[in-house]
Structure 1
Amino acid sequence: MSLVKIYTKSTCPYSRRARQLLDAKGVQYEEKVIDINPALRAEMIAASNGKTTTPQVFIAGRHIGGSDELLELEHSGELDVLLADSSAQPSA
Structure 2
Amino acid sequence: MTQATLYIKEECPYCKAAIALLNDKGVSYQAISVYDMSADERAAVAVRTNNHRTVPQIFIGETFVGGFDQLNKLNQSGELDAMLDAL
TM-score of the alignment, normalized to the shorter chain, above 0.5: yes
What amino acid does structure 1 have at the position aligned with 2:34?
I
Instruction: Show the 5 A alignment for 1:10-29.
Output: 10-29=10-29
- In structure 2, distance between residues paired with 1:22 and 1:53: 19
Structure 2 stretches lacking a partner, 5+ long: none
Q: Normalising by structure 2, report the TM-score.
A: 0.88
Structure 1 stretches lacking a partner, 5+ long: 87-92
* Equivalent residues of 1:10, 1:35 under 8 A apart: no
How many Å apart are 1:48 and its aligned residue? 0.6
Q: After TM superposition, what 4+ stretches of structure 1 lie above 6 angstroms from structure 2?
A: none
> Is structure 2 residue 71 aligned with structure 1 residue 70?
yes
How many Å apart are 1:35 and its aligned residue? 2.1
Instruction: Show the 5 A alignment for 1:1-92.
Output: 2-39=2-39, 40-86=41-87
Kindly report the root-mean-square deviation, in angstroms, between the aligned alpha carbons of the 2 structures: 1.4
Identity among equivalent pairs (%): 38
Provide the secondary structure at the position in 1 that maps to 2:36: coil
Compare 50-59 and 36-45 and name the one that shifted more: 36-45
Total equivalences in the alignment: 86
- In structure 2, distance between residues paired with 1:59 and 1:4: 4
- In structure 1, distance between residues paired with 2:36 and 2:12: 13
